[in-house]
Amino acid sequence: MEIAPWEVFVRSTALHGFVYRYEPWLWPILQTLHYFGATILIGTIGLFDLRALGVAKGIVPATIHRLIPLGIAAYVCNGLLGIVFFFGHPDQYFYNDAFRLKLLLMAVAGINVAAFYGTGAFAEVKKLPAGADASLRIKIITGISLLVWVGVLCCGRMITFFRPPFFH
Amino acid sequence: MDSFFDPFFAFIENSELSEWIRGSESIFAFPTIITLHAIGMAFLAGGSAAIDLRILGLARGMSLAAMGRFLPVLWLGFAINAVSGTLLLIAYPTKAFTNPVFYLKLGLIALGVGLVYRIGTTVLRGPDVELKHKDKHARTLALASLAVWVALITTGRLLGYTHTWILLGVKANF
């Protein structure tokens, strides 16, 4: 199969060369860090979503929202690691339905984040006291968030089973 | 390599369940089981790490006593991983039992789960729960818990790279 121009470019970069050269020990280390990131993401954004959905209602939503910056940091780290993985084996990710669905779900998560912070939903959550139920609108947004992040995790884990059979 | 346990590994590997998990083309066999294992990891280790970080002083305004209500979510994550982990073990017993990293992982599971239980019963209960970030015993447990999750996830990931056998008599080709 002909190699697409974008892939020729990716394979010409120093980053690709670096991953290719040190792969035997670099890949397991970066994968482990990617798993840490996923764990932190669920442990922060996931717990915030669960509170909004009614688990651990004794928590004041504004206080558990303090965990979100840590979740964003984990997201950024994992995004950067993802770019390294992609540059290491571009064909294994690009021609991969699990990876494509993962990107799609991450786009949905992005729209959902915009809906949460851009529409006054966040301002509404911030005012909730301990024990209070969130509105249906909040529960829909946080429910989508939780589902989408678990979906991203599933797709990520499934990437290896959807790898294309060819190697360049 | 012949060992005393070979007949035991052979018995498991030749079982219908083991063959189905390994050999089935279905996405609901090995891929789904290992995916559930990742979800359980994220909720158990992620939820526990959040409690640990709160004990250590992050997001101090958040009620630690109320965080205890997340414990059932963590135990659900553990249950998912106990079942999915057992199924993965049934699929590849030789691969796991001939790898020293697997025994390290088992030890870390016992430690991590024990710490969740200890933190749940001692730190998240009592009259002064919200002041636990000043309690030395609580902080020690939280730090130990964080360290165990880091080590446990690392050993779990390394299982995919450190085994010498895939099945009885089938060497890994690294």
Nearest 5°: phi and psi at B173? -105, 75
Rounded to the nearest angstrom, the minimum Cα separation between B3 and chain A is: 30
Nearest residue, CB atoms, A42 vs list B46, B65, B153: B46
Rounded to the nearest angstrom, the minimum Cα separation between A5 and chain B is: 31
Question: Are the beta carbons of B58 and A70 separated by less than 8 Å?
Answer: yes
Which residue of chain A comes nearest to B25, CA vs CA? A161
Chain A residues closer than 8 Å to B73 by CB: 50, 55
Nearest 5°: phi and psi at A4? -65, 150
Which is nearest to A48 in space by CA: B139, B19, B47? Answer: B47
DSSP reduced 3-state for B170: strand
User: In the prediction, which pLDDT does B174 show?
Assistant: 66
Question: Are the beta carbons of B59 and A36 separated by less than 8 Å?
Answer: no
Question: Are the beta carbons of A59 and B53 separated by less than 8 Å?
Answer: no
Mean pLDDT to the nearest integer, B95-103: 97
Measured CA to CA, the distance from residue B174 to residue B162 in angstroms comes to 9
Nearest residue, CB atoms, A47 vs list B35, B47, B65: B47
DSSP A54-121: TTTTTS-HHHHGGGHHHHHHHHHHHHHHHHHHHHHSHHHHHT-HHHHHHHHHHHHHHHHHHHHHHSSH
pTM: 0.96
Residue A15 contacts B where some CB pair is shorter than 8 Å = no
| DSSP category for residue B130 | G
DSSP reduced 3-state for B167: strand
User: In the prediction, which pLDDT does B128 show?
Assistant: 85
User: In the prediction, which pLDDT does B77 show?
Assistant: 98
pLDDT at A168 over 70: no
Q: Residue A155's pLDDT band (boundaries 50, 70, 90)?
A: very high
Residue with tokens 């939903």: A121
Rounded to the nearest angstrom, the minimum Cα separation between B4 and chain A is: 32
Measured CA to CA, the distance from residue A86 to residue A94 in angstroms comes to 8
Nearest residue, CB atoms, B45 vs list A39, A57, A63: A39
Q: Residue B129's pLDDT band (boundaries 50, 70, 90)?
A: confident
pLDDT tens digits, residue range A33-76?
999 999 999 999 999 999 999 999 999 999 999 999 999 999 99
Residue A98 contacts B where some CB pair is shorter than 8 Å = no
Chain B residues closer than 8 Å to A56 by CB: 66-70
Question: Are the beta carbons of A32 and B42 separated by less than 8 Å?
Answer: no
Nearest residue, CB atoms, B46 vs list A40, A57, A60: A40
Neighbour-count burial of A79, counting CB atoms closer than 10 A to its CB (0-12 exposed, 13-18 middle, 19+ buried): exposed
Q: Residue B26's pLDDT band (boundaries 50, 70, 90)?
A: very high
- The ipTM, to two decimals, is 0.96
Measured CA to CA, the distance from residue B142 to residue A11 in angstroms comes to 44
Which residue of chain A comes nearest to B53, CA vs CA? A67
